[in-house]
Every structure is written in C-alpha cells, then in structure tokens.
Amino acid sequence: MGKGLKWSDVTPKTQWLNRRHLLAGGAALMAAPAMAQGTASRFSADATPNTFEEITTYNNFYEFGLDKGDPARNARLLTTDPWSVEIDGLVERPGRYDLADILKDAPLEERIYRFRCVEAWSMVIPWVGFELAHLLNKAGVQPGARYVAFETLLRPEEMPGQQTRSLDWPYREGLRLDEAMHPLTILATGLYGEAMPNQNGAPIRLVVPWKYGFKSIKSIVRIRLTETQPQTTWNMQNPREYGFYSNVNPEVDHPRWSQASERRVGAGIFAGREDTLMFNGYGEEVASLYAGMDLSKDY
C-alpha cells in the first residue's frame, strides 16, 4: 500500500463490509452475521462516509485540547488497556465490568451514521459497535430507573486538558432511559473496521446519532442508572445554549448561530451548505420518543 494511504481510503465499501473479523482492543472478534454477509445494518445511512483521515484529525475531545487537531496529537498518551466500566445505581448487577467481558458476547456490527456537531459541521462515520441496550440488559435495569448517566475517564496525567479548567471534569452526559434503550443508540468500539482511535474516544464511547455530537461521550468509565435527570457537562456550563435533550433540530437555533444548515467536513470550499434535518434525519425512528413534548422549550 502506498505511503500515506490507509487501507480505508482505498478499500471499496463492499469489501470492508465483508470483513469477517474486526479488531477491537487487540482481540479478533466475530462480526455480526449481517456484516459477514456484506449487508450493512438496517440502521445505516445510505451516504458515503468521510475518510478515515477526516474522522481522526478533526475532533472535539477537550481532555486533549481545544483545537480540532489537538486530540490526534495528544491522545496518543492515553492508556486504554486495561479498561473497565463501573455500572451502578438502579441495576440488578452493579459492579466493575471488564471491557474484555463486555465485548465477549457483544453483538458487534457496523453502523454508518450521520454525525452532526452543535457547531454546525457534520460527517458520516462508519462506526463499529453494539446497542447500549445490550449492556444495560446485561446489568439488569431496575424498574425505578428513568435516566442513564455516563462519565469519561478522569486521568489528568494522561489528559492534559484536565489540568486546565476548560470544563468541569470529568466530562459527563446523560440520556433518558428510553433514549438509551433505543436501537440506534450504540456503544462504539471502533470505526472503519479498526479499533477505536484514541482521539475518537477509545476504547468505548457512546454514539447517539439524532442528537448533537456533544451528547456522544467518549472514553466511558462509568454508567449509572438513576431516577432523576443527571447533571451533564455542557448543560451545567451553559443551560441556555446546551439543553439536556439536544436533539438535532433545524428550527431551534443555538443562541449564537443558526442550526438550519451544516457544513459537511471534507466537502470542499465550493460545496454548498446542506440543510440540517430534524433529528439529523432519524425522525422516523425516534420522533415518537418525544410525542407531546414542545421541543422548542424542552431542548
């Protein structure tokens, strides 16, 4: 393969859909049957993904700096093995779950999702992951649980951004339980069939494709089931600008910029902006979750 070219840049989509093994965390894992047969998940978007290069060099991961190129430079320092996720709160089987154990029976599949940042740029990303519902069911959700809270690793010695006060660490996010159990909501452990690059949230991160990107918390070490709505980092920082729900919505502008359109990363300077779609185009699947809510008030 030529210098500077990655296999993902030159491998046709059908071929990487056919890969039987996905490397994640160093262990070869069997892909879901749908992938082995060469068909993408029924949840995958029919859009051409951004390149591996674009997805891994234009990032938001404030633990590694504020500029888009900082995570790719600085996240090399992060140790992602061993890794475990503490699952507690209103669950039947609380405890520290080893990532290797989580992945042992996780039904991994490829999900090609549109990804829309609140800053009004977007990408299409071929994630590898499994439904969050799988892990929550493994831990056993108690009847009283209504929300799911997530936390990123707190390790300032490896995460230079945590030595500053750019955010209130550790990074925290949350979902309502029905959002968390929705089949579109995944825990991703890779992209383009490779183990998750550190700058994209290795070794395991959330992806909620109908919400602004900041809800998709990276490098998760804790998942807690709660009765009340958890505190979340950006919402605490500025509740007017970053609502708890933060569903992609072209009709509710961010106080400092319009959300009606977006710039596709890598589209080139002559490409026009694209219209932003309600729920980032996933309305058919998720609109019913918000029936009866006024999304211009409860954003």
Which parts of this chain interact with ligand MTE (CB under 6 A)? 59-63, 117, 152, 171, 200-201, 213-214, 216-219
Cβ count near 93 (within 10 Å): 9
Q: Are 17 and 39 in contact (CB under 8 A)?
A: yes
Q: Show the tokens assigned to 267.
A: 């589209």
The CB-of-220 to ligand MTE minimum distance in angstroms stands at: 8
Query: Helix %, strand %, coil % for the chain, to 5?
Result: 25, 25, 50
Give the residue with the Cβ less far from ligand MTE, 172 or 182: 172
In terms of CB distance, is 117 or 135 closer to ligand MTE?
A: 117
Which tokens go with 269? Answer: 């300077």
Are 110 and 41 spatial neighbours (Cβ–Cβ below 8 Å)? yes
Q: Which residue has the tokens 């977007």?
A: 122
CB nearer to ligand MTE: pick between 16 and 171: 171
Give least dist CB 133 to ligand MTE, A: 20
Shortest gap between Cβ of 280 and ligand MTE (angstroms)? 12
Q: How far is the CB of 217 from ligand MTE (least distance, A)?
A: 5
| Cβ-proximal residue to ligand MTE, closest one | 213
- As a whole number of angstroms, the distance between CA 101 and CA 118 comes to 34
Residue 80 or 200: which CB sits closer to ligand MTE? 200
In angstroms, give the least distance from the CB of 126 to ligand MTE.
12
Q: Which tokens in the block code for residue 278?
A: 């309600």
Report which of 192, 207, 200 is spatially closest to residue 23, judged by C-alpha positions. 192
In the complex, minimum distance from the CB of residue 269 to ligand MTE, in angstroms, rounded to a whole number: 21
Comparing CB distances to ligand MTE, the nearer of 203 and 213 is: 213
At CA 216, angle to CA 104 and CA 139, rounded to 5? 40
Nearer to ligand MTE, 44 or 216 (CB): 216
